[in-house]
Amino acid sequence: MSAYPTTARREATAPRPAAHPEPSTAHQVGRRRRTRRALLAAAVFLSPLAVFYGIYYLYAFGFLADMSTKQTSLSFTDVTDVGLENFRLVLTDPAFHTALLNNLIFAAVSIVAALTIGFFLAVSLASGVRFRRLFYAVFLLPSLIPLSLFATVFGRMLETDDGAVNTALRSMGLGSLTQDWLGSTGPAYTALFVLLVYLVGLPVMYYTSDLSTLNTSVLEAAMIDGAKAGQMYRLILFPMLRGTHRTVILSVLLGSFRAFDVVYFSSNGQPGGRTQITGTYLYNTMMGSGRVGYASAAAVIVLVIAIAVSAVQILLERRSK
């Protein structure tokens, strides 16, 4: 051991003036106290939500996971343990594969629609076009009214003989384009794509909200430099709203796993279950006696996939930053 203390040790062992503490140390103590108070306040304010979350989500998730290894009915009194058999049956079901694939296809269509049509509409409406309130109403309304109602009306419009779509086509002299919309796969997908595209209201709201916070001096500079409208959309506004794109993509992607009402009340999976998504799959498999376990296993798988998709999405975003 050295006879003389090192600089660091000298600093550590040096007597501190009692009456006048070092300003930096006092600042740290004060900051710690403030942090502690803030955390306590956060804990107090968050606790009701945490309890709510615990009861309604964690308990439900736990119950779901438990039920997924059982065969039982809604009475939950006649429980048989079946291990992982429910998972095996779900994972080997071609209808489940179709439902899952449709989830991804519909999510992709919704994302493309949001990033193109949604973005374009938001920027156009924000630029002060005439009747923009009317246009906002037209595009936002489907996202604001219950989707079940909206999808039911849409499904009714697709009826072959009396549906509004075919009636309109016939009245315009385009009778050759009339379809049995939900009777064959191509037209059924087309109809659902149209429905999903029409639900761009939420992305439009996200973009509209973030557009109002943009620094307009960049746009003014671009205008002075002679940039055209297309260039401003593509090269300036689109990149500047990168953060909004991420929000939109994530919300639309996860929304596709909750699009039960959109599909159930419009196509109901027709034709032949080929437009079914995981939500309608879960609903259909739940029907009948003793089906709770199987439906729970399917729900757990969908939940894990949704979490995995979100995690991948977030990781990719972080990497791209």
Partner 1 sequence: MRGPSRALGAAAAVLALGFTAACGDSGGVGGAEAAKQDKATAGETVTLNYWTWFPPEATLKEAISAFEKANPNIKINLREFDSADYQKQLPLALNGGQSLDLVGVQISAMTNTVREQLRPVADWQDELPAGWRSDLNTTMVTQTEKAAKDGKLYSVPLGSIGSSVMLSNAAMLKELGIPFPKTADELKAAVDKIKKEKPGVTPVVFTGEPWWQEEMLFTIAGQTSPSLSDDILAGRKKWNDPALVKALTDYKSLFDKGIISKSVLSLKGTRPAEQFTSGKAAFLVDGSWQSSMLSAAYRKANKIGLTDVGASAFPVVESGGSPAARGYAEGGLAIPKTSKHVAEAAKFVSFMAVGAGVDVWSKDLVLVPAKNGFKPDESVLTSQAARDGYAAVAAVVAGAGSARNSNQSFLNQVEGNAILDVLRGQSTPQAAADKMQKEWASRRYDTQ
* Contact residues: partner 1, CB under 8 A: 32, 35-36, 39-40, 42-43, 47, 50-51, 53-55, 58-63, 65-67, 70-80, 89, 92-93, 95, 155-156, 158-161, 163, 180-184, 268-273, 281, 284-291, 294
Q: What are the DSSP calls for 277-316, one per residue?
A: -HHHHHHHHH-STT-HHHHHHHHHHHHHHHHHHHHHHHHH
Q: CA-CA distance, 277 to 257, in Å (whole number)?
A: 8
Q: Count CB-CB contacts under 10 A for residue 253.
A: 19
**Number of residues in the chain:** 321
Our CB check for partner 1 shows the closer of 223 and 304 to be 304
Which SS3 state, helix, strand or coil, does residue 57 take? helix
Please state the closest distance from residue 26 (CB atom) to partner 1, in A.
Answer: 18
Please state the closest distance from residue 90 (CB atom) to partner 1, in A.
Answer: 8
Our CB check for partner 1 shows the closer of 146 and 183 to be 183
Please state the closest distance from residue 73 (CB atom) to partner 1, in A.
Answer: 5
Residue 193 has, within 13 A of its CA and on its CB side, a CA count of 13
Q: CA-CA distance, 240 to 131, in Å (whole number)?
A: 26
Our CB check for partner 1 shows the closer of 209 and 289 to be 289
Which SS3 state, helix, strand or coil, does residue 79 take? coil
For residue 242, what are its two tokens?
Answer: 């990168």
Please state the closest distance from residue 178 (CB atom) to partner 1, in A.
Answer: 10
Our CB check for partner 1 shows the closer of 142 and 269 to be 269
For residue 69, what are its two tokens?
Answer: 């290894």
Q: CA-CA distance, 290 to 78, in Å (whole number)?
A: 9
Please state the closest distance from residue 155 (CB atom) to partner 1, in A.
Answer: 7
Please state the closest distance from residue 152 (CB atom) to partner 1, in A.
Answer: 8
Our CB check for partner 1 shows the closer of 32 and 242 to be 32
Our CB check for partner 1 shows the closer of 111 and 292 to be 292
Please state the closest distance from residue 64 (CB atom) to partner 1, in A.
Answer: 9
User: What are the backbone angles phi and psi of residue 86, rounded to the nearest 5°?
Assistant: -60, -40
Q: CA-CA distance, 294 to 297, in Å (whole number)?
A: 5
Our CB check for partner 1 shows the closer of 122 and 195 to be 195
Handedness of CA 140, 141, 142, 146 (dihedral sign): positive
